[in-house]
Copies of this chain bind each other. A is one copy, B any other.
Amino acid sequence: MQREELVIVDDIEKQAWQLLEDAIIYYQGRPVGTVAANDRSQFALNYDHCFIRDFAASALLFLIKGRYDIVRNFLEETLKLQPKKQLLDAYTPTQGLIPASFKVVSNNGEEYLEADFGEHAIARVTPVDSCLWWIIILHAYVKATKDLKFALQPEFQQGIALIMELCLATRFDMSPTLLVPDGACMIHRRLGIYGYPLEIQALFYAALRAARQLLICAGDEEIVIGIDKRLPLLQNHIRHHYWIDIQRLNIIYRFKGEEYGHSATNLFNIYVDSIPYADLAIWLPKHGGYLAGNVGPSQLDTRFFSLGNLMAIISSLASEQQSQAIMTLIEEQWQDLVGTMPMKICFPALEKEEYRILTGYDPKNIPWSYHNAGSWPVLLWFLTAAAQKTGRINIAKNALELAQYRLSEDQWPEYYDGVRGMLIGRKARRYQTWTITGFLLAKELMSHPEYLELFSFEKFDVENAGYACNL
């Protein structure tokens, strides 16, 4: 890079840090989170909320910079918003759930926090990912501060236990994956991701890994046993049934339907006519592969979902070989998955009848826009983390070079549209906090790969996992 360019990049970074500073929410004089977006040209709707999933990147940046107080305050305040009692009721948030977002409300000069568990959101979707992100952030806080005592406080142990109970609770189905309604994660509108979407499973795996360490340090046994039973089952289930590469596609392509009994090889009764096998056979590079978006009865969603695949690498849910193959796929199908703006939230878009039937005609999720194969700069940090974990630094470097000038010029929009990400998102806000933090965190991870330790996990082997407190 030329000296002049360096100066520009330096300026962009400075601007980004300042924007992050401006995004901080204060509550009773203490910093507690960051707003979703700071776009003064548009009506706030719920963009003045602090979203738990959005705050994850902010939290990691604050931890990196030693701004521990913000993350500590965030964890304390969101914990207070977690329902502690099950009311055997409905229409009230379930015990253990962490809200999607919160905001500071003033009433007669007194401030309080208002939580949203989806009641205020479009279509009343419950945010399943929030409680998983909460544990991941708590774990990172302890890793960064070495302040284990913070997590050992009884209210925090209770908070973790309630989330684990919710996740490990008895359910109707027998799969190690979590059954959730459509739109229960970053894709929080209907997009045909009901059932067992990869993003939730990858975050679930990471949260189990994080909770395991926090609970072991607290001397818990019962829940750790439950986690140790679930982790290998979940891992094997995802690695086997979600994996798609050319070898696996060949097997799926020749599946017989309608098999009964224990010996069935086509376990989920997938009919090959339901998947785009011919397109996939061309698209899959020889040494590339990825985890499918969803697996259920007669259902194999072959769309590539970035957050789930990258988080599977970061958390070691994917095997080392699979992780390399995912990065190879991103490299070889760069135009489709990265294009001009890193990176696609999913690929390809649902179009025509699929769009109509699976989104319910959602005008915000038209093909190649928003959740339906739009490009999301926040994914830069996941991509960079996965690149560091797999030693494929060039991938992150190339992605960052694409993004850094453009993001600032375009005033940090939430998302980009179009097949290659050339258009600023049709309804995107500017100054979206996680666009800013996604860029900054990617930068930090490039220059300091050791920060990866805050939120990544080495491979898990239940036999040799051990029960020592290593935090």
A207-237 to B contact mask, C-beta < 8 Å, 1/0: 0000000000000000001100110011001
Chain A contacts with B in 230-267, Cβ cutoff 8 A: 230, 233-234, 237, 257-262, 267
The verdict on A77 contacting chain B, using a C-beta distance below 8 Å, is no
The verdict on A94 contacting chain B, using a C-beta distance below 8 Å, is yes
B271–A360 contact, CB under 8 A? yes
Which residues of the other chain, B, contact A401 by a CB distance below 8 angstroms? Answer: none
A171 to B95, CA, bound (A): 8
Q: Shortest CB–CB separation between residue A257 and chain B, in angstroms?
A: 7
A170–B174 contact, CB under 8 A? no
B181–A296 contact, CB under 8 A? yes
Chain A contacts with B in 62-121, Cβ cutoff 8 A: 86-97, 117-121
A274 to B356, CA, bound (A): 7
A406 to B271, CA, bound (A): 34
The verdict on A168 contacting chain B, using a C-beta distance below 8 Å, is yes
A299–B171 contact, CB under 8 A? no
Which residues of the other chain, B, contact A119 by a CB distance below 8 angstroms? Answer: 174, 262
Which residues of the other chain, B, contact A362 by a CB distance below 8 angstroms? Answer: 271, 298
The verdict on A179 contacting chain B, using a C-beta distance below 8 Å, is yes
Interface segment, one of A23-31, A124-132, A146-154:
A124-132
A357–B354 contact, CB under 8 A? yes
Which residues of the other chain, B, contact A194 by a CB distance below 8 angstroms? Answer: 194-195, 296
Known contacts A120-B262, A172-B180, A181-B296; is-contact A90 B189 (Cβ 8 Å): no
Which residues of the other chain, B, contact A93 by a CB distance below 8 angstroms? Answer: 174
The verdict on A319 contacting chain B, using a C-beta distance below 8 Å, is no
The verdict on A461 contacting chain B, using a C-beta distance below 8 Å, is no
Known contacts A181-B195, A182-B296, A190-B298; is-contact A94 B171 (Cβ 8 Å): yes
The verdict on A359 contacting chain B, using a C-beta distance below 8 Å, is yes
A297–B181 contact, CB under 8 A? yes
Which residues of the other chain, B, contact A267 by a CB distance below 8 angstroms? Answer: 123-124
The verdict on A463 contacting chain B, using a C-beta distance below 8 Å, is no
B172–A184 contact, CB under 8 A? yes
The verdict on A22 contacting chain B, using a C-beta distance below 8 Å, is no
The verdict on A278 contacting chain B, using a C-beta distance below 8 Å, is no
Instruction: Name A residues whose Cβ lies closer than 8 Å to a Cβ of B.
Output: 45-46, 86-97, 117-126, 128, 165-166, 168-184, 189-190, 194-195, 225-226, 229-230, 233-234, 237, 257-262, 267-271, 273-274, 296-300, 352-354, 356-364
Known pairs A124-B175, A181-B195, A183-B297 / 17 extra A-B pairs, C-beta < 8 Å:
A87-B229, A91-B175, A91-B233, A92-B174, A94-B173, A94-B174, A120-B261, A122-B297, A171-B171, A181-B296, A182-B299, A189-B269, A189-B298, A271-B361, A274-B356, A298-B362, A354-B357
